[in-house]
Each structure stands twice: as C-alpha cells, then as structure tokens.
Amino acid sequence: MNLTLPQVLLIVFDTFMEAIWPLSLMITLNSDKTYSFDPIVMQSLACLFGFFISICIDSHRQNWAIPSLMIGWKRFFNGFFAVCFLCIGVILLTAAFRMSSSGAAATIGFLSLPIYIIIELTHSVLWYDKKELNSIQKKLAGITPEILLIITTCATLFALQDTASSIQGITLLLLGRCLICIKSYLNGRNGEAKDRGNTVSNATAFLLMNAVLKFSLSQPSNYILESKESASWSNLIPHGWNWLTVVAWFADSMICISNILVETCVGGEMQAITGMSGRIIGMYISFAYDVTPTCPIVLAVLSMSWAVVAYMRLHYRFGTHDPTTDLKPYVNMAEAKLPASKFIISFWQTY
C-alpha cells in the first residue's frame, strides 16, 4: 500500500498517542490501585470533546456549513456495532490497568496485528469472501508469517517474565485488545461514506456514539467489574480530577480522533500497526517507570521492535514504487483458477 504525506503524518500522530494513552491512565492510579475519579466517565467526556473537534473539521470541508446528523440507518448501525466492541474493550482495558504493569499493557498491544489478521481471516472464511482471502494470501507471502510468529512469541515471553502483572490483568488486557481489533476491522471495512452529502463523516458519528455509550455503561461496568459500592449515579458528574486527570483526558480525546481517522482514511490494519508502534515507545518508557529490564524482557522488546519495522517495510511504502519488486505469494490463486469448491481447501494447504 502506498501512503501519502498526510496519511504518514496522521500515522505518526496516532502512534505517539497510542504510546501516551495507557501510561496517562496508569499515572492517575492511587497507591491502592484505585482511581480518584470515574475513568469511563472521563473517557466519555473526552470522546465528546473529540466529537466537537471532528464536527468542526467536517464543517470546514463543507465550506463552513453545519453538517447534519441524519446519517441514515445503515451508517448508524455500522458505526454503533463497532462502537459496542470498542466500549466493552476499553472498559476491560481500564480495569486491567490496575492489575498489570505498563510494560504488560504495552506488550499485549503488540498482539494487535496477529489478532487483526486472525479476525480478517476468520471473517473471509466464514463469509466465503474470495477477494479478502486472496488479499490475505498476498499479505502472508514471504517471511510475513515468521514475523508474526516472532511478535507473538516475544509478547508471550514478556508476559511470562513480568512479575508485576497478575494473570487476571493479562487476560483482561488480551480480551480488551481483541475487541478493539474487531472494532478496527469493522471501521476499516466501512471506511468513509463516499456520498454522504451534507451529513457528518463516519468518524464524527462514531465519536458521538462512543461518548454516549461509554457514559451509559460507566456505572453498570463499575457494578460488574468492581463492586456494588463503586457504582453510583453521582459518578456521572465529574469529580476528583487533578492535573494528571486532565493529561489523561486530553490524551484520550486525541487518541479517539486519531484512531478513527486512521481507520477510515488509511485502513483498519494500519490502526493495529500504529497501536503496535505506539506500544514500542511505551515499552521503552516502562523501563523507567515500573518494569525491571531483565535480559529476557529486553531481548523480547528488541525482537518485537525489529519485527514491526520489517512488517512495515514489507507491506507499506511512501510515494510511488516499482510493482515488479513486490513479493509474490507462494501460490497465485488468481492465476490457478481453482474451482470454487476447492478454493478454501487449497488456501489452507498453502499455509
């Protein structure tokens, strides 16, 4: 995939925010691993702030006309379906941050790309999407499976070596990351509406639905994941904030905007990659924060860093390139002209 300069700048910004966001929430934890504020309410307000920024961008693109929120039922349900996965995933991650180190939170983020490809493959097989299967086959050509294996193995090694994280925290991190990858895949498939008229963009609609759903689920999630006492409707009114909370709120506002823009303007897979790249930065920050840099952990971090760089060099380019230098898959199914009944069987035999 060729990337334009605006796309590259957006990717760099999203990567930086992916590195800052988990740490910004962790530094707001008290000594007893609790928050002095409701983190889900704070994140819903951050999404609402991101919505107003995004609607200003939409208005600027439409010569400062006020865009309409009447996006139609199809766009609404597509966005709401993805928002449901995101909200549940973020709630699980927020709970997991109290039971794990910043290094473990960053490491599980490295699994975003392998998880995303598994989601993509599962969808293409279940829905028998031959075009997507061919795309995955080209993507997995050459040494890409080995790169994904290195990332997965090293992430597992880091999680096993990190004594500051509990098994419950690791499980919640993994489950939350999986749900967020599903959200990225759905937004990547939907993309941006081509003929939306004078309505808001999919990104703007997504941010508004995200804010409303997080605000609505904040207290039920506290009741389920924490205790009956921690769930109170009075928490819907922001309180207990300090300057660290403002930092976390601003970081969450920016990452809400950058995530959805990357997914709709570049692709869902790129958002998984920016998530991994941000975790690289977060990993090195964690060495100075709450992770002891033992030899196995440092080796795992370096291996994952180079694996991510290798994946980017294989599948993404800036500007134009010579198509004759592209890697070829092991078996070109488009040229083989296989019968439809043997397509999936041959696909699995290839790998």
Question: d(Cα 317, Cα 54) in Å, to the nearest integer?
Answer: 28
Question: d(Cα 268, Cα 271) in Å, to the nearest integer?
Answer: 5
CB 72 within 8 A of CB 66: no
DSSP helix/strand/coil, 171: helix
Question: CA distances (Å), 176 to each of 63, 84, 152, 181, 332, in order?
Answer: 39, 12, 17, 9, 36
Quick one: pLDDT band at residue 169, thresholds 50, 70, 90? confident
Helix, strand, coil percentages (3-state) for the chain, rounded to 5, are: 75, 0, 25
pLDDT at 42 over 50: yes
Question: d(Cα 314, Cα 56) in Å, to the nearest integer?
Answer: 36
Question: d(Cα 153, Cα 140) in Å, to the nearest integer?
Answer: 18
More confident residue, 53 or 318: 53
More confident residue, 188 or 127: 127
Please state at what angle helix 268-287 crosses helix 295-315, rounded to 10 degrees: 150
Q: What is the mean pLDDT of residues 253-273?
A: 81
Find how far residue 294's CA is from the centre of its chain: 28
Residues in the chain, total: 351
Question: Any idea what DSSP says for residue 197?
Answer: T
pLDDT in tens, 188-221: 787 666 667 788 888 889 899 999 999 999 888 8
Question: d(Cα 306, Cα 130) in Å, to the nearest integer?
Answer: 32
Cβ count within 10 A of residue 174? 16
CB 275 within 8 A of CB 115: no
pLDDT at 343 over 50: no
For the chain, the distance separating the N- and C-terminal CA atoms, rounded to the nearest angstrom, is 23
pLDDT in tens, 142-153: 677 888 888 888
Quick one: pLDDT band at residue 327, thresholds 50, 70, 90? very low
Task: Report CA dihedral (45, 262, 145, 310) to the nearest 10 degrees.
Answer: -110
Mean pLDDT over the full length of the chain: 79
Question: d(Cα 216, Cα 84) in Å, to the nearest integer?
Answer: 12
Q: What is the mean pLDDT of residues 218-244?
A: 81
More confident residue, 177 or 104: 177
CA-only gyration radius of the chain, Å: 21
DSSP helix/strand/coil, 9: helix
CB 95 within 8 A of CB 284: no
pLDDT at 9 over 90: no
pLDDT, residue 193, reads 63
